[in-house]
Amino acid sequence: MIITRSPLRISLGGGGTDLPSYYEEHGGFLVAAAIDKHVYINVHRRFEEGFVLKYSQYEDATEIDQIRHPIIRESLKLVGVTEKNLEITSMADIPAGTGLGSSGSFTTALLKALHTLRKNIVRPAEIAAQACQIEIEKLHEPVGKQDQYIAAVGGVTSFHFLPGGSVEILPVELDEETLFNLQDNLLMFFTGYTRSASKILKEQDDKTRRVDKSMVDNLHFVKELGVQSKDALEAGNLREFARLMDAHWQRKKERSGGMTNPQINLWYDYAMANGALGGKLIGAGGGGFLMFYSEETTRLRRAMREKGLREVRLRFDFEGTKIVAQD
């Protein structure tokens, strides 16, 4: 039996510039953080032949090509798994569709487990690149590379997405006090809405490919905010980081009519009136989690609780995709 896990993530600046439609022309840059909420994959050999898959659905297949789950099917092929007697089970601390990059975490955890099964030694960057290959190149999902890379490497990390497909990985240099304050003062609240990231990202992807000026200019601006966010974090200026989060959110809302809704906007404004210095909706938009930076965390927690929002507390994960157990 092999159990692996990958962390979910929050975007801290520059999100959206990791899609190939943008970075292949202009280069992308963003800052993200892995958090202590995970996707788990359990792989073990069965006595009987065939594949048993347990995720949000149940599958029973005799051949890889019969597997309906596209990521599982393509991951088995990419790693070159020859066994035909496997049970693969997934679990997650937080459900999919909530903006925390669960698909990238699922794929990296699965690849890590399958490589371990095959006794392959692979570096985190290789796992991330293979996950991107599956989701973007094989399955043609309109997603970026952020989720796969931050899940694989962990930490608070910046990424340069370069034309041609290469990725530069640079840890954000945080002093200890800034790191602790950032963890303590970032608050995350579930909106109750889930959504398909692909639908929202497809609109961005299509507009970028058509060289829609407003979309490309928006992403240029957001990329610069990502650079400024990294600078603010490394300088220990968390109030400036919070201001940039708010600027990011105001621009992000312009990308798609499905990015937000009146209720989310009301919650955001209420948070800003009750101690939040800046915030945004995490992920592609349309639902999931609102995240805020606040130096009045008790006040903000009470205000959001009054509105019926559930908080999920977070710490950073510096381990990335890893083996939890192997027998």
pLDDT tens string 252-277: 888 777 778 899 999 999 999 999 99
Q: How does residue 196 score in pLDDT terms, banded at 50, 70 and 90?
A: low
Query: Quick count: other Cβ atoms within 10 Å of Cβ 168?
Result: 11
Q: How does residue 194 score in pLDDT terms, banded at 50, 70 and 90?
A: confident
Q: Label residue 101 exposed, middle or buried (CB < 10 Å: 0-12, 13-18, 19+).
A: buried
pLDDT for the residue 260: 83
Indicate the average pLDDT of the chain.
93
76 has a pLDDT exceeding 70: yes
Residue 102: CA atoms inside 13 Å, Cβ hemisphere, count? 22
Q: How does residue 203 score in pLDDT terms, banded at 50, 70 and 90?
A: low
CA distances from 28 to 13, 169, 184, 226 (A): 11, 12, 29, 9
Once rounded to an integer, what is the mean pLDDT over residues 249-253?
A: 87
CB 9 within 8 A of CB 147: yes
Q: What is the CA radius of gyration of the chain?
A: 20
89 has a pLDDT exceeding 60: yes
Give the CATH H-level superfamily of domain 176-311. GHMP kinase, C-terminal domain (3.30.70.890)
Q: What type of residue is 223?
A: K
Least confident of 60-74, 225-239, 279-293: 279-293
pLDDT for the residue 212: 76
Q: How does residue 211 score in pLDDT terms, banded at 50, 70 and 90?
A: low
CB 253 within 8 A of CB 280: no
Once rounded to an integer, what is the mean pLDDT over residues 42-56?
A: 95
pLDDT tens string 101-150: 999 999 999 999 999 999 999 999 999 999 999 999 999 998 999 999 99
Q: Which of 73, 76, 133 is nearest to 104 (CA)?
A: 133
CATH number corresponding to 2-173+317-326: 3.30.230.10
Exposure string of 37-62, with b = 16+ CB inside 10 Å and e = fewer, is: bbbbbbbbeeeeeebbbebeeebebe
Domains of the chain by residue range: 2-173+317-326, 176-311
pLDDT for the residue 199: 58
Q: How does residue 206 score in pLDDT terms, banded at 50, 70 and 90?
A: low
